[in-house]
Every structure is written in C-alpha cells, then in structure tokens.
C-alpha cells in the first residue's frame, strides 16, 4: 500500500464515546456522537481580533555604554 491508500482506507474501531463499532478515516467519535456533540456544544464561528503585539521593555542600558 502506498501513502495515499493508507490515508483513504477507513479504520474499523469502537467509538471512544459510546463504544459502538464504527468505520472512519480517523480515530474519534462516531457520526452520531459527533452530530450530538455539535448540537449540544458547538457554537457558530466568529471572528476574533488578536491583541496588538507590544514588545516588553525589560532591557536596561549597559553601564559602560552610558558612562561619560
């Protein structure tokens, strides 16, 4: 098997949430659990603004450089 086949071949495993047998490309909750989690815990996507980066001024001048 090449790498592409390995990534597209579904895995057979038990759902970690409800222990039902499932088959999916990646390990995780089954489709029913995923739907339930989105309905109960999911929220709408929203835009977040990152704070403006302000560097800390924790560098003190070298005493030799300031000596005159």
Q: What does the pLDDT look like over 22-44, one tens digit per residue? A: 999 899 999 999 999 989 987 78
Half-sphere exposure of 14 (CA within 13 A, CB side): 5
Within 8 A by CB and 6+ apart from 16, the residues are 27, 28, 29
Q: Where are the domains of the chain?
A: 1-42
pLDDT of residue 53: 80
**Beta strand 11-14 with 21-24: parallel, antiparallel or unpaired?**
antiparallel
Where residue 17 falls among pLDDT bands split at 50, 70, 90? very high
Q: Are 35 and 47 in contact (CB under 8 A)?
A: no
* pTM of the predicted model over 0.75: no
């Amino acid at each position: 098997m090449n790498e592409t086949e390995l990534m597209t071949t579904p895995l057979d495993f038990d759902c970690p949430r409800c222990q039902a047998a499932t088959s999916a490309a990646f390990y995780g909750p089954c489709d029913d659990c995923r739907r339930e989690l989105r309905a109960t815990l999911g929220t709408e996507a929203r835009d977040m603004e990152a704070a403006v980066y302000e560097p800390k001024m924790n560098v003190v001048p070298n005493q030799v450089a300031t000596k005159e």
